[in-house]
Every structure is written in C-alpha cells, then in structure tokens.
Amino acid sequence: MRSKMWPKRAAWWLSLLLLLVLYPQSGMAAGVTITNGPVWYDTTGGTIQAHGGGIIKSGSTYYWIGEDKIHNSATFRDVVCYSSTDLKNWKWVSYPLKTTSAAELASSKVERPKVIYNASTGKYVMWMHYENAADYSLGRVAVASSDSVCGNYTYHGSFRPLNYESRDMTVFKDDDGSAYLITASNSGGGANDSLASFKLTSDYLNVASFQGWVFQNGHREAPAIAKQGGKYFMITSGASGWYPNQAMYATASSMAGPWSALQPLGNTSAFFSQSTFILPVQGSSATTYLYMGDRWNSGQLGDSRYIWLPLTLNGAAGTAALEWSSSWTLDAATGVTTANGMTNHALNKTATASSTATGYAASRVNDGNYQTEWKASAVTWPSWWQVDLGAAKNIREVDISWFMYKGSEGYYQYKIEYSTDGTTWTAIDKTSNKTYGFTSDSVNFTARYVRINMVNAVLWNNPNNWYTPTLYEVKLLGN
Ligand code: DGJ
C-alpha cells in the first residue's frame, strides 16, 4: 500500500513545487478567464447590462459603462456603471443617467455611451447617441458630465454637432489631452453614408471643429479607436441594423487623418459581433488591446452578449488582427494574455466538397484565411464540405465562418458529421442553429474525416433561400 501511494504523492508534491516556481505569489495561474458566448453575470448574479459600452480606468479600478437593455427594447431605460479590478468580476455600481435625468430622456433612445475624463475641469464627460423613442430620424449626440465616474451625471442636452447628423459614435482621448468625436453622419448620400470627425472643445462638452469625412460613402458604423506605436487605429462595422458583418480597420498618423483604406478584421461577421470599444489594458509587463464587441440579439436585446478578444495592433507595420477564442486568460495586473492552446487540426489538410464553383476550391475553407471561400457550383441544398485530417484527431471545438451578405443575412442549418473510415458517419445535429455569420460548437469526438453538411440557409428578410452554399473558414480545434 505504502509503496504504491508513494509515486502518486511524489508526483503531487512535484506539481505543487512546479506551480510555486511558475507562479510564486499565488501558487495558481494568474489572471481571469474570459469566456465568449455565454451570458455574463455581475457579482450579485444579475445579467450584465452594459451594451454598446466602453470602459474607463480610474486609479486601479475599471468602470464599464453601457446601455441597459434589460427591458428588451431599444428605448432608453438607463445607462449602467459597473466596477472591476480584474476585468472579469463586475460589481453593479449605479445608473449614471436615467429617464428622469432630463425631460427629453423620458421617452428616447440612448446608445453607445462613452466616458472620458477631463483633467483640467476634473469632470467625467459622457457622450452618447441620442434619438427619439420611435425611430432614428433625429441623428444627434448628447452630452452629460459628472464629478465622479459613475455619476450622477448632469445632462447637457442633445444636438447635431455643427449641424451635422450624428448616429453611431465614439469619443477618443489622445495622450496630449485632445479629444475627438467620430460619428456616423450624412455627407449628402443619406443617413450613415460617411463618418464625420470632430475635435472637441478643451472642456470636452462640445465640438470645436469639423475635421473632415472619413470613408466617405463607405456606410461605416460602430467606430472604436485606439493608439499603438504612434498610430491611430479605427475599427468599424458595416451598417446592417442589429446584424453582424465584416469588421474593417484603418490607420492614421493623426486624428485629423488621412485614414488608410479599410482592411478586413477577423472573419465575415467579426465572429458575430459589432465593435463598441477598444480598451488598452496597460499592465506591468505588457499592454493588451481588448476588442469589445456586442453580439446583438434583436429579438431579446437584454440577452445580447459580449465578445471580448485580444486585438493585435502593430503601429509600426500599420496592421491589426483579431482571432476568435472561445475562452482565454487575461491578467489585468501584468497585461499578459494566454491563449487556450488548441491546435487547428484542419489547417491545410486535404479538403473536398459535394460540388465546387470554378475558382472557389474546397481548400480555401481550411487555408487559415478568413477572406477566401469555397462555393458550391449551384444553389443546391444540402451541400457538403469535407476534410481528411490524415489521422484520427480529438476535436473539441468546431468554428465555422459562414457566408454573410449585407442586408440579406442568413443563418445556416447544418450537421457536423465525423467518421474514422470515411464510410460510417456520426452526425451532430445543428439544424436548429439561428446564429448568423459565425458558429463555435463545443464537441468531443475523435475522427479522421469531418464533414460540414449544409442542410439549408434561412434568410431573415427573404423567405426564398437563393444562397449558393458558401463557407469561408472551418477550424477544427483540439489538443
Ligand atoms: C446599428 C448600431 O450600431 C446599433 O448601435 C443600433 O443603433 C442598431 N444599428 C439599431 O438597428
């Protein structure tokens, strides 16, 4: 008995010793795990309501301020403020702005609140998109300010900056204390045709000057800005209501522009999210840029989820990259992130399909490039795409980047089929899927062949499925 126990005990002590050597302060892996997809709860168990929000750090505490959609409506209920020191455990603090804060807030819409701190006035200044309750025809910003980050905020009213229309917006405070408003405006081609750039007054309570159009007639929304290596990065989405679409980024050497051409970021749907903010997490050994996106649920807005991913910004090269991770670790103290360490077993393995349109080879689905796609040769449902992994692999997650078509978004009803011999198949039924643009399924099977069986696509604004089966990327993750 004793001799049998000994090797086990020795192994246990050895692992403990190893942990202590690796993580001397805590004896445990440092940081928190960010899990994308599920509902996020605050420290008292309420669902976090901070949609379209942003984060501001004050002292060593982060404050997450966003829209409350608990009533499952686009109308204004309140702005909510949460606090956290680790960016994972969020404590509800207050409602900085309420329907009773001003007469015009009683029946209205308030979206994308963003707070910046003005060092000379000592005020926290909140900018937001303001509309009436019924529609999006006003096209205004609103401004409020407070002596403390979580309020109460004094409401200063809504307006069109220098008479320009203003809808999806953000504010950005630069290192030199200058601040800017970037907003979806109208340069003559209709609502949201172009972004407009403004410099704010030194108290941040108004706009001082119009700096020009950005991506004129590009129909960009949801701007979010960060600065890395002396370069400004702007992430935007396309305009497709609550539906996700391909995020794009651009760079500039000055907030006055010019901005570079738009470059795609992440997959066809920003991993089913829409940008709202980029948070620099400045730790003791690294700065991580946190992409914050909203996964809107238009039918139940209060159940819209948050997608947070590490964003790779390279100011010197002028490049940005965003990769999906269903869970990853963030240490707010050091700024260090740790990936989940899984391998994409499908990458560059032999792929085939039920049919292939010329120029859209099956291999484009597992080439690691979110911008290349396979397409069936005709509008044939079902169609399938298949990969031979070369040997049996244990697969734990299946990530699929689906076709998105602006304004006619469709979700795919599909089956994940797997086989060890290419003859006998087992199916995981995902025909009840209603997720647009990107699906990430937790699985646990061991197989050499994996097939994505596209049974049907359902279009939200068109009952007839005219889609040609198309896949952008399939990742089969495992250890
Ligand atoms: C897209 C915007 O980005 C959201 O903030 C919201 O205004 C929706 N449109 C409403 O359809």
Summarised one tens digit per residue, pLDDT across range 345-360 is 999 999 999 999 999 9
Residue 30 CA to chain centroid, in angstroms?
24
Structure letter (DSSP) for residue 382: S
In whole angstroms, give the CA distance from residue 67 to residue 257: 30
Whether 27 shows a pLDDT value over 80: the answer reads: no
Q: Using DSSP, state whether 145 is helix, strand or coil.
A: strand
What is the structure's pLDDT at 459?
Answer: 87
Tens of pLDDT, residues 257-300:
999 999 999 999 999 999 999 999 999 999 999 999 999 999 99
∠ CA 74-75-78, rounded to 5°: 110
Give 284 Cα–ligand 1 centroid separation in angstroms.
36
What is the structure's pLDDT at 332?
Answer: 98
Whether 1 shows a pLDDT value over 50: the answer reads: no
Q: Class assignment of domain 32-338?
A: mainly beta
Residue 442 CA to chain centroid, in angstroms?
20
**Contact indicator for 80, 66 with CB cutoff of 8 Å:** yes
Whether 99 shows a pLDDT value over 70: the answer reads: yes
Percentage of the residues of the chain whose pLDDT score is greater than 70: 94
Identity of the amino acid at 384 = W
Whether 406 shows a pLDDT value over 90: the answer reads: no
Banded model confidence at residue 306, pLDDT cuts 50, 70, 90: very high
Give, for ligand 1, the residue of 137, 195, 221 to mutate: max count of ligand atoms closer than 8 Å to Cβ. 221
Banded model confidence at residue 17, pLDDT cuts 50, 70, 90: very low
Ligand 1 site residues, Cβ closer than 6 angstroms: 52, 111-112, 168, 221-222, 241-242, 274
- Cβ-proximal residues to 144 (8 Å cutoff; 6+ apart), any chain: 96, 97, 101, 125, 126, 128, 153, 154, 155, 156
Going by DSSP bridges, is the β-strand pair 263-265/207-214 parallel, antiparallel, or unpaired? Answer: unpaired
Architecture of domain 343-478 in this structure:
Sandwich (2.60)
Q: Work out the burial of residue 186: count CB atoms within 10 Å of its CB; fewer than 13 is exposed, 13-18 middle, 19 or more buried.
A: middle
Q: State the chain's maximal CA–CA distance in angstroms.
A: 84
What is the structure's pLDDT at 462?
Answer: 73
Banded model confidence at residue 404, pLDDT cuts 50, 70, 90: confident
What is the structure's pLDDT at 392?
Answer: 98
Tens of pLDDT, residues 29-45:
489 999 999 999 999 99
**Contact indicator for 370, 439 with CB cutoff of 8 Å:** no
Give 242 Cα–ligand 1 centroid separation in angstroms.
6
What is the structure's pLDDT at 308?
Answer: 98
What is the structure's pLDDT at 9?
Answer: 52
In whole angstroms, give the CA distance from residue 134 to residue 118: 33
Count of all residues that appear for the chain in the document:
479
HEC per residue, 314-381: ECCCCEEEECCCCEEEEECCCCEEECCCCEECCCCCEEEECCCCCCCCHHHHHCCCCCCCEECCCCCC
Atom index in ligand 1 nearest the CA of residue 167 equals 7
Phi, psi of 122 (to 5 degrees): 70, 15
Q: Work out the burial of residue 329: count CB atoms within 10 Å of its CB; fewer than 13 is exposed, 13-18 middle, 19 or more buried.
A: middle
Atom index in ligand 1 nearest the CA of residue 52 equals 5
**Mean pLDDT in residue range 78-87:** 98
Q: Which two tokens stand for residue 36?
A: 């994308």
Question: Which residue, by CA, sits nearest to atom 3 of ligand 1?
Answer: 222
What is the structure's pLDDT at 18?
Answer: 46
Whether 24 shows a pLDDT value over 70: the answer reads: no
What is the structure's pLDDT at 464?
Answer: 78
Whether 80 shows a pLDDT value over 80: the answer reads: yes
Supply the mean pLDDT for the chain.
Answer: 94
Q: Using DSSP, state whether 468 is helix, strand or coil.
A: coil
Phi, psi of 162 (to 5 degrees): 50, 35
Whether 435 shows a pLDDT value over 60: the answer reads: yes
**Strand-pair partners of 324:** none
Give, for ligand 1, the residue of 168, 237, 275, 276 to mutate: max count of ligand atoms closer than 8 Å to Cβ. 168
What is the structure's pLDDT at 408?
Answer: 73
What is the structure's pLDDT at 461?
Answer: 76
Whether 57 shows a pLDDT value over 90: the answer reads: yes
Banded model confidence at residue 364, pLDDT cuts 50, 70, 90: very high
Atom index in ligand 1 nearest the CA of residue 221 equals 3
Residue 450 CA to chain centroid, in angstroms?
28
Question: Which residue, by CA, sits nearest to atom 1 of ligand 1?
Answer: 241
Give 43 Cα–ligand 1 centroid separation in angstroms.
28
Question: Residue ranges of the domains in the chain?
Answer: 32-338, 343-478
**Strand-pair partners of 187:** none
Structure letter (DSSP) for residue 105: G
**Mean pLDDT in residue range 393-407:** 92
**Contact indicator for 318, 251 with CB cutoff of 8 Å:** yes
Tens of pLDDT, residues 152-176:
999 999 999 999 999 999 999 999 9
Atom index in ligand 1 nearest the CA of residue 136 equals 7
Banded model confidence at residue 310, pLDDT cuts 50, 70, 90: very high
Peptide bond between residue 152 and the one before it cis (omega within 30 degrees of 0): yes
Banded model confidence at residue 10, pLDDT cuts 50, 70, 90: low
Give, for ligand 1, the residue of 76, 242, 275 to mutate: max count of ligand atoms closer than 8 Å to Cβ. 242
Q: What is the CA radius of gyration of the chain?
A: 24
CA distances from 4 to 10, 14, 139, 174, 411 (A): 11, 17, 74, 64, 56
**Mean pLDDT in residue range 198-208:** 98
Q: Using DSSP, state whether 10 is helix, strand or coil.
A: helix
